[in-house]
Amino acid sequence: MDLSAISPALLLASLMVAATPILIAGIGELVVERAGVLNLGVEGMMITGAICGFAITIETGSPAVGFVAAAVGGALLSLLFAILTQFALANQVASGLALTLFGLGLSSLLGQEYVGLKPAQTPDLHIPLLSDLPFLGTVLFSHDVMVYFGLALVAAVWAVLKYTRVGLVLRAVGENHDAAHALGYKVVRIRVLAIMFGGACAGLGGAYISLIRVPQWTEGMTAGAGWIALALVVFASWKPWRVLLGAYLFGGVTVLQLNLQAAGLAIPVEYLSMSPYLITILVLVIMSADRSRAPGSLGRVFHASG
């Protein structure tokens, strides 16, 4: 085993990359849950975003167009969930599971032609001066644009929820949909929009995996990232900045175990590969003591009577 082969700067840099998919998907799901909807279909929307982004990037040669397509794909898929839960008043847990199963099937059907191809590369930004800083330049300032987009998204979601009217109304709908309805807010409309925002974010997160992190297409390649994103929201107690913290924690564990695998640690590869999932369970257990923050109407069906 050769631990000296692990460079701290590269480790931290790849941590940011590893954290980005679950960060973007997680912050999207946070908005959905703050609106009072539990969408367990994140995995399905991520994998759909992954293939949409991948396919469109291959076809157009432009990762930027690919990412847009991924967001659209994720949002369209989430629209199915929105129809089921907001109009057909279906159980949210079951509908989310259905979305995941459906998304996995859809993506492998769409992806058949794309196995083994390589997408156009997404360039890393080079920020003058900053990128050249020793250590910090490598860790913080020489990533692709989506890494920074993810950070900006967290900041934006935090600011909107805390300081704006839209954010206040969204929180109100998630907290008590009957009261929000009595005050004249359009509960269903707000929730549908939140669900689609979450879908678009999950799509982007998925595309980040297939276009940048891996980058290629294989069936089921999100491998539970969507579920980890869901766990992140619980971990974060529905607070945006804590999603960031959680994503970096999980990103760190993932990167570390990959590095340990590469360094030839005396633990079998399979046990290292389990570690992100086990850590997720551990964190869930620790965080489940604090359940007070869950939005009041989370997962409940809303039907305006009268």
Partner 1 sequence: MLKLEKRPQPSRVFAWLTPLMAVVLTMIAGGILFAMLGKNPVEAIRVIFWDPLFNEQFASYSRPQLLVKAGPLILIAIGLSLGFRAGIWNIGAEGQYILGAIVGAGVGLAFYPLDAWYVFPLMVIGGALGGWLWAMIPALLKVKFGTNEILVSLMLVYVGEQLLASMSLGLLKNPEGLGFPGSRNLKDYPSAFNDELIAGTGMHWGVLTAFLAVIFAYILLNRHMLGFSIRLTGEAPRAARFSGVNPNLLILFCLGMSGLMAGLAGLFEVSGPSGQISIDFNTGYGFTAIIVAFLGRLHPVGILLAGLLMALTYIGGELAQLMLSLPSAAIQLFQGMLLFFLLAVDLLTNYRIRFVKREKA
Partner 2 sequence: MTQPLLKIDGLTKAYPGVVANDSVSFEIGEGEIHALLGENGAGKSTLVKMIYGLVKPDSGTMQMRGEPFAPPEPRAARAAGVAMVFQHFSLFDALDVAENIALGMEDPPPMRDLAARIRSVSEEYGLPLDPYRTVGDLSAGERQRVEIIRCLLQDPRLLIMDEPTSVLTPQEVEILFQTLNKLRAEGTSILYISHKLEEIRALCDTATILRLGKNVGTCVPRETTARDMAEMMVGSELQTPKSAGAKLGDIALDISGLSMPSPGQFGTALKNIHLELHRGEILGIGGVAGNGQDELLLALSGEERVPSDAIRLGGRPIGKLGPNARRAAGLLCAPEERLGHAAAPNMSLTENALLTGAVRRDLANRGFLRWGQAREFAEEIIKKFDVRTPGPENAARSLSGGNLQKFVIGREVLQKPYVLVVNQPTWGVDALAAAAIRQALLDLAAGGAGVVVISQDLDELMEVSDHFAALNEGRLTAKRPTKGLTVDEIGLMMGGAHGMEVAHAEA
Give the binding site for partner 2 (CB under 8 A).
Answer: 165, 168-169, 171-172, 175-176, 178-180, 182-185, 292, 295-296, 306
Instruction: Name which of 123 and 306 has its Cβ closer to partner 2.
Output: 306
Find the shortest distance in angstroms from Cβ 210 to partner 1: 16
Q: How far is the CB of 125 from partner 1 (least distance, A)?
A: 33
* Residue 263 contact partner, candidates partner 1, partner 2, none, CB within 5 to 8 A by sort of partner: none
- Min dist. Cβ of residue 229 to partner 2 (A): 23
Q: Least distance from C-beta 168 to partner 2, angstroms?
A: 6
Alpha-carbon distances of 5 from 1, 17, 266, 276, rounded to whole Å:
9, 19, 15, 22
* Residue 182 contact partner, candidates partner 2, partner 1, none, CB within 5 to 8 A by sort of partner: partner 2
Q: Long-range contacts made by residues 228-231, C-beta under 8 angstroms, separation at least 24?
A: 228/22, 228/276, 228/277, 228/280, 229/21, 229/22, 229/25, 229/26, 229/29, 229/42, 229/46, 229/202, 229/205, 230/26, 230/29, 230/40, 230/42, 231/280, 231/283, 231/284
- Which of 109, 262 has the CB closer to partner 1? 109
CA atoms within 13 A on the CB side of 244: 14
Closest CA to 100 of 272, 270, 224: 224
* Residue 277 binds which of partner 1, partner 2, none (CB < 5-8 A, kind-dependent): partner 1
CB of 159 to partner 2, least distance (A): 14
- How distant is the alpha carbon of residue 18 from its chain centre? 11
The entry of partner 1, partner 2, none near residue 278 (CB within 5 to 8 angstroms by kind) is partner 1
Chain position carrying tokens 């935090």: 158
Least CB distance to partner 1 at residue 219 (A): 8
Picked from partner 1, partner 2, none, the partner binding residue 183 (CB below 5 to 8 A depending on kind) is: partner 2
Residues forming contacts to partner 1 in the complex (CB under 8 A) are: 40, 80, 83-84, 88-91, 93-95, 97-98, 101-106, 108-109, 112, 219, 223-224, 227, 230-231, 234, 268, 270-271, 273-274, 277-278, 280-281, 284-285, 288-289, 291, 303, 305
Q: Write the DSSP string, 247-297.
A: HHHHHHHHHHHHHHHHHT-SS-HHHHHHHHHHHHHHHHHHHTT--TTS-TT
